[in-house]
Structure 1
Amino acid sequence: MRWIPHDSMKAKEVADTLRSCGKLVDKEEPHMCFSSREAMSRFATRELGVSGARAAITRIHGNETPNSMYIVEQVTQLNNNVVPCHPMDFPYEVFYCHRPKEVQSLRVQLKGLKDGMPRVTAIAMCHMNTSNWDTQYFELLDGKCGELICHYMPTNYIMFY
C-alpha cells in the first residue's frame, strides 16, 4: 500500500471522497459509493426499478488530439431515470453513484470537422432544475442557479439507464 502524505492535496481529495461517500442516504437523491462495477450495476438496477440496468459511456472511436473539433451529427434521447457513476479520488477505484431527479440523458454522435478525425459517441446529461445545487457545480459547469445545465459525461464516467 502506498502512503499519502498527511497535508498533501491527495490527502485532501481522499478525505473529500470519504465525506461524500459517508453522507447520509437521501431519499430524494439516493447515493452510494462502490469499488466494484458489479455492485454499481446492482445499485443502479435496484434504484431504476428495472430487471437489468444498461450502461452507457462516452467513447472515442480512434485517437483524439487536444485540438480536435467536432460537429453534432445525431442526438438520441435515452431516459430521464438514470444513475450516473463518477470516479472519485482514492488510492483505488471508487465510484460515487446517485439517482438525480429532473434529468434527461442523451446519446450524441459527434463527427470530426476534418477527415480522419475520430468519431465520438458521447453521453450527455441535462439537469432541468438546478435550484438546489451546491455553488461549486455552477463554477465547474459555467452555469447559474435555476437554469437548465447540460454537460457531456467524461470517458471515465458510467451512466446506467
Structure 2
Amino acid sequence: MARSLSALLLLLVAAVAASAQYQDDSVGTAFFLDKDLYPGSKMTLHFTLAAAGAALPRALADAIPFASARIQEILSRLPVPAGSPAAAAVRSTLAACEAAPVPGVEALRCVTSPDSMADLAASILGTRNIRAAATKLTSTEGATTRQEYTMVSVRPLPVAGGDMVACHRMPYPYAVFACHATTAAVYAVSLAGADGTTAKGEALAACHADAFPGISQSAYEKLGVEPGSVPVCHFLPQDSMLWMRN
C-alpha cells in the first residue's frame, strides 16, 4: 500500500483552497518540526471551525449524484447557483476526488457519509476494530481564533500496525471527506490560547517522514531544513479525522 503524501497534499490543498475557510494561517498550512512539540512551546495557529454542511445518512447521500459529469444536476438538486463560489468549490472537490492516481501514491477516496467513511477506513486497515481521533477544542467565545497557543502537554498516541487512514473535510454543501492511507507519528497536544478563550481540549499533531514533495520549497525554507531530510508536522483541523486500529 503506497503511503507517500506528495500528490495527496497537493490535491487536498488545491481543493480546500476553493473554500472560504481556507487561509494561509490555518493549521493545514502551518508546518513545524517534531522538535517543536514540547510543553511550553508556543505557536501562532488558526483552528478553523468545521464546515457548516450537515452530514447526511448514507441512503440520502448515495441518492445524490457525485460526479463531474453530472455537475448541472448536482448544482440544481442541492441547490447551488451556477457561477457562485460554492459552485466552484463543488467543481474543485469533484475534480480532486476523481483525479487519476499517481504511480506509487495512495489514491484519494472520497466518501459522502459517516457510515461510508467508517467502512472505508475498516477496509483499508483490514479490520472493523478501529477508532477515530480528531482535534477537539472548545472556546468560551465559540470559535478558536488566530492567536498564539502554548502547548500545555504533549503525549504520543499509539498507532497499531504503524498505518492509519486520514480523512479530510472537503468544501461541499454537505459533509464530504477525502480519505487516504498514511503513516505518521501522532501526538495529542493540550493547548492554551493567549487570549484565554480556549477552555479545554486537545489538538492532534501528525509528523510525516514522507511529506516531500507535497510541501512547498518555501515551507522547507521557513523550517530551515532540506526537503525530505526530516519529518514535517502539522496540526489537524477540527474537521479532519484519523482512523486507527484498536
TM-score range relative to shorter protein: 0.7 to 0.9
How many angstroms apart in 2 are the aligned matches of 1:156 and 1:123?
A: 11
Name the aligned partner's letter for residue 97 of structure 1. Answer: C
Q: Does 1:148 align with 2:231?
A: yes
How many angstroms apart in 2 are the aligned matches of 1:58 and 1:160?
A: 13
**Equivalence for 2:180:** 98
Name the aligned partner's letter for residue 199 of structure 2. Answer: P
**Equivalence for 2:211:** 130
Name the aligned partner's letter for residue 113 of structure 2. Answer: S
Q: Does 1:87 align with 2:164?
A: no
Quick one: which of 139, 150, 154 aligns to 1:74?
A: 154
How many angstroms apart in 1 are the aligned matches of 2:144 and 2:130?
A: 32
Q: Given the two structures, how large is their TM-score scaled by the length of structure 1?
A: 0.79
CA contact (8 A) 1:76 1:107 kept: yes
- Structure 1 residue 82, shift from structure 2 partner: 1.3
- Unpaired segments ≥5 residues, structure 2: 1-77, 222-226
> Deviation string for 1:119-147 (max 9, x for gaps)?
231111111022342xxx438x9336324
CA contact (8 A) 2:137 2:200 kept: yes
Q: Identity of aligned pairs, percent? A: 26
Structure 1 residue runs of 4 or more that deviate by more than 6 Å after TM superposition: none
CA contact (8 A) 2:80 2:86 kept: no
Quick one: which of 97, 101, 116 aligns to 1:21?
A: 97
> Deviation string for 1:27-71 (max 9, x for gaps)?
741431111111101111111122322000111144355246322
Cα gap change, 1:74/1:96 in structure 2, threshold over 3 Å: closer, same or farther? same
**Aligned length, in residue pairs:** 155
CA contact (8 A) 1:21 1:33 kept: yes
CA contact (8 A) 1:35 1:95 kept: yes
How many angstroms apart in 1 are the aligned matches of 2:174 and 2:198?
A: 33
RMSD over equivalenced CA pairs, Å:
2.7
- Structure 1 residue 89, shift from structure 2 partner: 1.3
Greater relative CO, 1 or 2 (CA 8 Å, sep 6+):
2
Aligned positions of 1:26-65 closer than 5 A: 28-63=105-140, 65=144
How many angstroms apart in 2 are the aligned matches of 1:19 and 1:53?
A: 29
Name the aligned partner's letter for residue 231 of structure 2. Answer: L
Name the aligned partner's letter for residue 88 of structure 2. Answer: K
